[in-house]
Structure formats: C-alpha cells, structure tokens
C-alpha cells in the first residue's frame, strides 16, 4: 500500500514540473481558460490581483496530498511566486489534476495572502471523469465555489468573495473519490528574492 501511495503521489506531483518555456505556455493556457469561464470576467475586471496555479496534482489512498506552483499578480503585474501544499486524511482513492485561481478583492486580501504562510483550513472536492465540481470552505471564511466541464470548456457558477477572496478550479483530468479534511497551505516569495 505504501508503494502504491508513493507511486500515485509521484505521478500527480510530476504534473507540476517542466521547462521554463512549457511553464509560460501552461500559465497562458490556464489564464485563458479562466478568462473564458463565464462569471470570472467580473473578477478579472475588478479584483486587486490573483494567484494562478496552472496545475495542482492531487492523489491519495487513505492519506493523500496535493502540490502546485503558481504566480501571484497585483494590478495586472506579476509580483511573485507561490506554492500550495495540502495533506489530507480520510476516505480517498485516486488522483487528479486541476487548475486553480484565487482572486483578491482588495489590497487587504492580497496582503493577507502574501504576508507569509496562508492557509485555507478546510476543503471539499468531488471530481468526475471529465467534469469537475468543487467547493472550497474555510473556518477562516475564505471560500467560494466553481464548476467546470474540463479545461477547454470551463464554466463557472455564481461565486463571490468571502473575506476578500474568491476561488475557482478547472478540472484537467483524473478521478478521485474522497471524503477528507485538510487545508491548503500557501507560501509566497516576492520576485527578486
């Protein structure tokens, strides 16, 4: 079982790595998918900034994890890098890859996210074979919801800011059954450091 868990996590995390040119393409593709996804237009037009994760790989058998690297933008400018790490415990089996964007309503929300280690304290997701639905919940109040039919035909449901942040995901692939608890933890490094 330990070998299977290691293999699953390795495959999921392997989705997050690539060359610089491939990375640029991944960011451009993810950004384009979110910009075409219905209601996110309002967020792009009014948000102070956002964190964009082109690919987050997630996998688990009983105990699981997720990891992804992203970029943080403020007022349209690329200002730093971020990583997301998650450990989950509970009933779960499989692996998935998805893109995620976190919009910051104002400077206060941006500074809260970039002040050091930021965490969403609880998360629940359900992903079907080619379509995904997700709900992000946090005892700290940073929560929103989104739905997608895959990375090339993404759509969103009504979402709004909670405590200055709104989160959307687009399923890229995989199948994962889970009923688990675990928070997404984010670190931030400004450009030039």
Per-residue pLDDT tens over the stretch 58-107: 888 878 888 999 999 999 999 999 999 988 777 778 888 888 889 999 99
**How many other β-carbons are positioned within 10 Å of the β-carbon of residue 120?**
23
Q: Do 49 and 72 form a contact (C-beta atoms < 8 A)?
A: yes
Residue 191 CA to residue 188 CA, distance in Å, equals 10
Residue 80 CA to residue 37 CA, distance in Å, equals 24
* pTM of the predicted model over 0.75: no
Which has more pLDDT, 126 or 114? 114
Which has more pLDDT, 193 or 184? 184
Question: Who's near 12: CB < 8 A, 6+ residues apart?
Answer: 57, 58, 59, 66, 67, 95, 96, 97, 174
Q: Do 96 and 176 form a contact (C-beta atoms < 8 A)?
A: yes
Which pLDDT belongs to residue 112? 93
Query: Is residue 67 packed enough to be buried (19+ CB in 10 Å), middle (13-18) or exposed (0-12)?
Result: buried
Average pLDDT, the chain: 72
Write out pLDDT tens, residues 15-48. 444 445 556 789 999 999 888 877 688 899 999 9
Question: Who's near 131: CB < 8 A, 6+ residues apart?
Answer: 147, 148, 149, 150, 171
Which pLDDT belongs to residue 105? 95
């Amino acid at each position: 079982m330990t070998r299977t868990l290691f293999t699953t996590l390795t495959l999921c995390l392997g989705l997050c790595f690539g060359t610089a040119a491939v990375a640029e393409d991944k960011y451009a593709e993810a950004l384009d998918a979110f910009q075409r996804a219905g209601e996110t237009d309002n967020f792009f037009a009014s948000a102070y900034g956002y964190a964009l994760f082109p690919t987050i790989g997630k996998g688990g058998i009983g105990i699981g994890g997720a990891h992804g690297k992203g970029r943080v933008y403020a007022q349209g400018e690329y200002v730093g890098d971020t990583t997301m790490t998650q450990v989950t415990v509970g009933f779960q089996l499989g692996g998935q890859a998805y893109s995620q964007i976190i919009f910051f309503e104002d400077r206060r929300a941006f500074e809260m996210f970039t002040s050091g280690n930021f965490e969403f304290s609880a998360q629940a997701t359900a992903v079907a074979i080619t379509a995904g639905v997700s709900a992000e919940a946090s005892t700290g109040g940073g929560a929103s919801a989104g739905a997608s039919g895959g990375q090339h035909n993404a759509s969103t449901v009504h979402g709004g800011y909670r405590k200055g942040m709104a989160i959307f995901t687009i399923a890229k692939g995989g199948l994962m059954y889970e009923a688990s608890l675990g928070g997404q933890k984010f670190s931030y490094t400004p450009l030039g450091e």
